[in-house]
Amino acid sequence: MDPQANSSIEDSVKEACGIFGVFDHENAVELAYYGLYALQHRGQESAGIACLMDGRIKSYLGMGLVGEVFRDEFFAKFKSRHAIGHTRYSTAGSSNIRNAQPITIDYAGGQISVAHNGNVTNGWRLRRELEEQGSIFQTTSDSEVVLHLLARPEIRSQPDPIAAALRRLQGAFCFIFLTPEGIIAARDENGFRPLVLARLGPATLVASETCAFDMLGAEYLGEVAPGEIVRIDARGITRSRYAESKRVSHCIFEHVYFARPDSRVFNQNVHLVRKAFGRQLALEAPAQADLVVPVPDSGNSAAQGYSEQSGIPLEQGFIRNHYVGRTFIQPSQGQRDIGVKIKLNAVRDVVKGRRVVVIDDSIIRGTTSKGRVRRLRDAGAKEIHLRISCPPTRHPCFYGIDFPDPKELIANQMGSVEAICRFLEIDSLAYLSVEGMLKAMDKPGNFCAACFTGDYPVEYDAEFDKNAMEGARARR
């Protein structure tokens, strides 16, 4: 039994998550498990499933991957027709079972459970307000706020308490609630994060990405719309708006980096979007080279596009070691960069003496990229031209993706592309332009690219949050 550290305030990182819901399937708990498996890339830190048994919600939460958390004993005990699941990611080191979801509570309205993906930008303000009224917080997650709102008498007394609670929230959120009556899915009015519906026989499914449906053979029904509440219960599916969607601003980084290539996200296939990024990149930043080499697997789709557009043949210049996973220990002594080397090996007989265009989907801090191109150089590559299938990442995300501190981003640290190029010790470097990136999208105006541009579609009072957190600490 592995105990869990709980440190209340400090680990308030914003996490990206995967969420999944099933209503009315004889193997709902199993489907939730499979669904979370397909959404594992959205969060590897903890996983949980809540389901209805004999009219009461039971949940099972654990730290680790889906396949580690749910074992035989879970399936033996948890049987239900209705279930929701959550998989959570935190870039910070603080593993914390208290922050695992779904969160299940008792309140005056009975019992309710919630799984959340996103970031409530006014979470700290609401938290302070709720605390003034007597609420106590047991997690550092902004997801707890919505449950406290639901429990407030002034909201509980309204005709549609869920809608009333959601109207108090700002920012990015996809919620799946489980109640003794059924499942409720809701999405913020900007539609920052994806949330999709499907049908499987009598059952209705909700998920962060369509890849969770494919595996189950479910029929895709489309997105939960921005500002929409979808109730799925014994009366069927009831769709309503709790807010008018004034400005849709889907997260472009889902397509750039985060979502699985086989998913439809915001109604476009991710792989094909990434291929279009690669084609555009070839137009914007051509190179005189012998080979196009993707960084596997992150650069695969864009490299294919770049190769097709440029006519430079695609080659597997890197080979991944599939066995290097979470269990990798770097013994303290010895070689420093062996961690990179052990995961990705350059194929000498492919790259030796060649001019290589390397395609990757992003450069964050730069150290990993540097290690990779050095491997190519060591394997004998004559020239290395790095092409990145998105613009330089410079700004924090307030809507659910946790970037490192802006000061640590190489695009901010180095200033110019030339400086980064020198740092990486390569022959040329180019990023895709913001305009070029948005060209790949069917509706370019419907996207948030704030991490590249700094243009935030929803106000965020970073100063307030900083003060709130520091104030919270100071009071102690």
Least distance in angstroms from the C-beta of 247 to a second copy: 27
Q: Which of 17, 174, 251, 390 is catalytic?
A: 17
Paired tokens of 242: 């709790």
Stretch that binds a second copy, among 33-41, 277-285, 406-414, 420-428 (CB under 8 A): 33-41
If binding is defined by CB under 8 A, does position 462 make contact with a second copy? no
> Which pair of tokens denotes residue 212?
């969770």
Among 147, 185, 232, 312, binds a second copy (CB under 8 A): 147
219 binds a second copy (CB under 8 A): no
**Closest to a second copy by CB, 331 or 445:** 331
CA angle 278, 280, 282 (to 5 degrees): 70
> Which residue among 219, 297, 455, 470 contacts a second copy (CB under 8 A)?
297
CA distance 196 to 205: 8
Look up 17 and say whether it is catalytic: yes
- CA nearest neighbour of 66 among 43, 96, 91, 97: 43
Among 18, 22, 23, 33, binds a second copy (CB under 8 A): 33
Ranges within 59-118 binding a second copy (CB under 8 A) = 59-72, 74-75, 77, 97, 103-111
Burial 63-73 (b: 16+ CB within 10 A, else e): bebbeebbeee
Question: Is-contact 384 427, C-beta < 8 A?
Answer: yes
Rounded least distance, CB 311 to a second copy, Å: 12
Q: At its nearest, how many Å lie between a second copy and the CB of residue 204?
A: 18
Residue among 163, 225, 272, 434 that touches a second copy (CB under 8 A): 272
Contact 115, 176 (CB under 8 A): yes
Q: Does 125 bind a second copy (CB under 8 A)?
A: no
In degrees and rounded to multiples of 5, residue 232 shows phi and psi of -125, 110
Helices (H), ranges, 270-416 = 270-284, 300-310, 338-343, 348-351, 367-378, 410-414
158 lies in the site for a second copy, by CB under 8 A: no
> 312-351: which residues touch a second copy (CB under 8 A)?
313-316, 319-325, 327-329, 331-335, 338, 341-342, 345-350
Give SS3 for 29.
helix
Q: How many residues bind a second copy (CB under 8 A)?
A: 117
Smallest distance, Å, CB 269 to a second copy? Answer: 3
Q: Is 311 in the site for a second copy (CB under 8 A)?
A: no
Catalytic residues: 17
